Amino acid sequence: MANHAALANFLAHITQTYGWQICVNDFVGFIPVDPALDQALRPYMAHINPYCLYIKSERCLFGRCLTLKKKLAEKSIRMPGGFFGFCHAGVGEYIYPITADGDLIGVIDAGAFPAEPRTAEYLVARACRHSDLDPVRARQLYGASLLAERPDERLVATLLEFVAAYLGNTYRSLRLTHPGLKFGKKRYNSSADSILALLLDYLHRNFQEPLAVPEIARICHCSESYINHLFKKRLGVNIRMYLNKLRIERGKDDLVGSADSIAEIALRVGYNDPSYFSKLFTQLVGISPLEYRKRFS
């Protein structure tokens, strides 16, 4: 299988150059079949700007985001050349279909752009009306998280069309190399991709904190057993082990890039006990933190 580094680099170029937030929605479940593709697209599986995360912190609104995917797919079939639209919470996005042999297998969206001020105020207030969200906080995040201006539609279409074509060709290849797998059953409301992306973003932003699995599960309104199953299936480890590996990797960087003590580094990456950090580091890396510093500094 291809390593899809070119795709990952192209998506990173788009986000860094234009500031757009790219999200890939897989409607037939083909992305996880190719682990390299799954890894390349992992940063682009959910909307993770602060306003969207705040809206999704409410279970009912997170559920509404998922149920709207079917309508998104239906409109994408009617408008194969792509379109621009707003979600229920007032976030504007360009939508471009991913197709293979005439069938819709997913969509790519690029955002996030604000509505006209009066419309935006109404949509944000409506999203908060039947929830515990603070409308003032929501309006602040809306203004700070969304891009000020919509780009030229032709530029967006050109870039997203390239990604869509790449993914469509990848899907065709996977059908040939995995004839036993059943593709094609639409899963518009599947939350696995969104949940995984939300959790990974949360862990990478908060790994220094004393995180507990029940707290992490509440982020996506899931059970502990579900998120552990999801991590095991998609990443090969449970969520606790993933967090430990993430912290140890950050610790390795600090050991080489700073003169801080082991205790200081342990605390910075989320461990209050430097002895536990050293023990875990030795288990995962094969040598102690001090030995690692000696070898690689």
Domain boundaries, the chain: 5-197, 210-297
- Give the mean pLDDT of 99-119: 94
User: Are residues 29 and 174 in contact, defined by beta-carbon separation less than 8 angstroms?
Assistant: no
- Say yes or no to pLDDT of 183 above 70: no
- Give the mean pLDDT of 50-57: 90
The half-sphere exposure of 234 on its side-chain side, counting CA atoms within 13 A, is 26
- Give the mean pLDDT of 254-280: 94
Question: At 61, is the secondary structure helix, strand, or coil?
Answer: helix
Q: Distances in Å between the alpha carbon of 276 and those of 52, 55, 283, 288?
A: 36, 37, 11, 12
CATH number of 5-197: 3.30.450
In 3D, which of 94, 72, 71, 73 has the Cα closest to residue 84? 94
Higher pLDDT, 130 or 153: 153
* Average pLDDT over all residues of the chain: 90
- Say yes or no to pLDDT of 171 above 60: yes
Higher pLDDT, 29 or 184: 29
Alpha-carbon torsion (53, 55, 58, 60), positive or negative:
negative
User: Are residues 98 and 167 in contact, defined by beta-carbon separation less than 8 angstroms?
Assistant: yes
DSSP symbol at 220: T
- 98-102, 141-145, 164-168, 209-213: least confident range: 209-213
Alpha-carbon torsion (147, 148, 152, 153), positive or negative:
positive
* Two structure tokens written together for 53: 């995360």
Which fold would CATH assign to domain 210-297?
Arc Repressor Mutant, subunit A (1.10.10)
User: Are residues 159 and 166 in contact, defined by beta-carbon separation less than 8 angstroms?
Assistant: no
Neighbours of 213 (CB within 10 A): 15
* Two structure tokens written together for 105: 């297998």
- Give the mean pLDDT of 229-235: 88
* Two structure tokens written together for 123: 């949509």
Question: At 81, is the secondary structure helix, strand, or coil?
Answer: coil
With vertex at residue 227, the alpha carbon angle to CA 222 and CA 230, rounded to the nearest 5 degrees, is 130
Strand ranges inside the chain, DSSP E: 21-26, 83-86, 91-100, 103-114
**Calpha distance 93→147 (Å, rounded):** 11
Cβ-proximal residues to 239 (8 Å cutoff; 6+ apart), any chain? 199, 203, 213, 216, 227, 228, 231
Given the DSSP bridges, would you call strands 103-114 and 21-26 parallel, antiparallel or unpaired? antiparallel
pLDDT classification of 196: cutoffs 50, 70, 90:
confident
